[in-house]
Amino acid sequence: MRVSEEELRRRTIRRTDFVSCDQAFIDCRTPGSDRKENYSMIGPGVTQSAGQVVNLREAHGFNIGAAAMPGGITNNLHLHFTAEVFLCFRGEFLLRWGADGRDGELVLREGDIASLPTWIFRGFTNIGPDDGWLFTALGHDDTGGIIWGPSVLREAEEHGLFLTADNTLVDTVAGDERPPEDELVKPMTEEQIAGLRKYTPEQMRSKVATPEDLAWSSEPFLDSRLPGGGAQLALVIGYGMTEDPEQEPRIFKPHGHNIAWLRAEPGQGVRAHRHSRTQVLMVKDGEWEVTLNLHDEVSVRLGPWDLLSVPAGAWRSLRNTGDGTASLVVINGGDGRVRLEWDDEVVKAAADEGVAIDHDGYLAPHALVPRPIG
């Protein structure tokens, strides 16, 4: 498929394009939680506000949003039905979980990625001195919304906020009519809460990938030895795009998407390839150029915190155009491996370096890989 300049612009979400909503959830007036801001970049996520701006609504198989919070502000206890992944891009957050938030605590710092299990209550507080920023990746297009802790619902009612069974936020202070009792979300019972899963701090720690936990592959792709290639890859959730037969992710459980870090030195990157999955590139550091199409190429420059949604099936290449090491997060839709198709020039150049892709989709000696006859 060919991607037009207009389509590329539509799929590019700059940091300056992010639009916050401070009325996204039922705890938006609760003291200590009233200064948090919610963002929905790709898909609506779990927002409960009809006024939430969504930068790109096209279904990806996952949702991407963010929570921005000043120091000391808390996101109250709630649970999700699909995977919720936190990507800490700035600040320091105290994560707690359990029905009363006392099952355990962990601190997330810049560069950490944490996968929170479904069907457990979780909340977090910005304990850093500056405004903190958590990107979130949520599994699947329809997340099912969230369930708030009973105390959160009760306190919200004191501030004129109610939540209906269809996940609509009703604000009686703003003039909305209070819905009938049978239309409101019912708080979970003590018996229902007692049946929820429990996780120890040790179990939860295994679901966090800090920078120190990452296992980087220096040859994750067919183009790793080629000029213009050379990017390194660290798997966080799922096997994703790696072609390194020895590389394994820190987190295996299916999420509806896979997540990996990619980094490159100046001039390096990933040469022309394509695959059949949806993909979002989320820049953490540095400057990147992403080029789409093999012919009639269109390109975009991305800086820190910019996002790009790459259409499934489109040819794409990435290059670090800055002066230092650049890093980004790669998110692909689906639970399985992502099999890459490389441009013929890459395949030929790799063969000259003695490398090919075997029938299992991994790097192998070119001389030993059977090739089609004719």
Q: How far apart are CA 324 and CA 330, in angstroms?
A: 19
Each residue of 206-234: pLDDT tens digit? 999 999 999 999 999 999 999 999 999 99
Low-confidence ranges of the chain (pLDDT < 50): none
Q: How far apart are CA 271 and CA 83, in angstroms?
A: 31
- In the prediction, which pLDDT does 63 show? 96
Tell me how crowded residue 43 is: count the other CB atoms within 10 A of its CB: 24
Collect all residues with Cβ–Cβ distance below 8 Å to 15 and sequence separation of at least 6. 303, 304, 305, 306
- In the prediction, which pLDDT does 371 show? 83
Collect all residues with Cβ–Cβ distance below 8 Å to 132 and sequence separation of at least 6. 68, 69, 70, 71, 88, 90, 91, 92, 93, 126
Closest CA to 270 of 294, 249, 289, 286: 289
Q: How far apart are CA 77 and CA 137, in angstroms?
A: 18
Each residue of 90-135: pLDDT tens digit? 999 999 999 889 999 999 999 999 999 999 999 999 999 778 999 9
3-class DSSP state for residue 143? coil
Collect all residues with Cβ–Cβ distance below 8 Å to 362 and sequence separation of at least 6. 243, 244, 245
- In the prediction, which pLDDT does 314 show? 98
pTM: 0.94
What the block records as the tokens of 128 is: 């850093």
- In the prediction, which pLDDT does 374 show? 58
**Cβ pair 21, 38 in contact under 8 A:** yes
3-class DSSP state for residue 316? strand
Each residue of 139-162: pLDDT tens digit? 999 999 888 888 888 888 888 888
What the block records as the tokens of 209 is: 């990938």
